Amino acid sequence: MSNKEGSGGFRKRKHDNFPHNQRREGKDVNSSSPVMLAFKSFQQELDARHDKYERLVKLSRDITVESKRTIFLLHRITSAPDMEDILTESEIKLDGVRQKIFQVAQELSGEDMHQFHRAITTGLQEYVEAVSFQHFIKTRSLISMDEINKQLIFTTEDNGKENKTAAGIAYHLQRAFGGGGWHGGRAT
């Protein structure tokens, strides 16, 4: 056995040289100081943002999975005995996806959408692919972005009043597909 093997390989850290009574202890911190209260507030805000981001990622994954299932269903249209049954089933699946997109819109209400763009982009791309494929099978033509956005306007009731809520994701759809950007305070 060499001397290197027997030494244990322990390297001293710089703070190991300080006597125990000169080390900083966490007990000296006043938890009710304005600085600590500010940091606790920031911590709660960051935790809330991270939680929201994770919820959006989960919703985006669900949107992706259901959109892919719809696409796979639509691929079976050539071998199916009844084309209308598959189109009806695909519409039901896409309605479920739209409800997930509505949940995304509710999560993003009042938020800076740029912070959460990466969390939802993949789901939106798959949704657009599924809707485009379904539209092409039905009409043999391409669907426009405006038509897709019209499908993402939701009607809700608030105190007996009917409110129309746009999913607010037109900007994300445009960014996801390389169209436009932000110019002069408006999406292009």
DSSP string, 62-129: HHHHHHHHHHHHHHGGGT-S-HHHHHHHHHHHHHHHHHHHHHHHHHHTTS-GGGGHHHHHHHHHHHHH
Give the CATH fold of the 59-179 domain: Methane Monooxygenase Hydroxylase; Chain G, domain 1 (1.20.58)
First to last CA, the chain: 72
Rounded Cα distance between 111 and 118, Å, is 14
Task: Please tell me the predicted confidence (pLDDT) of residue 65.
Answer: 98
| Inter-residue contact 143 to 132 (CB < 8 Å) | yes
Q: Is 45 annotated as a binding residue?
A: no
| Inter-residue contact 123 to 60 (CB < 8 Å) | yes
Residue stretches of the chain with pLDDT short of 50: 180-188
What tokens does 61 get? 């994954």
Task: Please tell me the predicted confidence (pLDDT) of residue 152.
Answer: 87
Rounded Cα distance between 32 and 50, Å, is 25
Task: Please tell me the predicted confidence (pLDDT) of residue 110.
Answer: 85
Taking Cα atoms as reference points, which of 149, 50, 60 lies closest to residue 100?
Answer: 60
Task: Please tell me the predicted confidence (pLDDT) of residue 97.
Answer: 97
pLDDT averaged over the chain? 81
Domain boundaries, the chain: 59-179
What tokens does 107 get? 């999560």
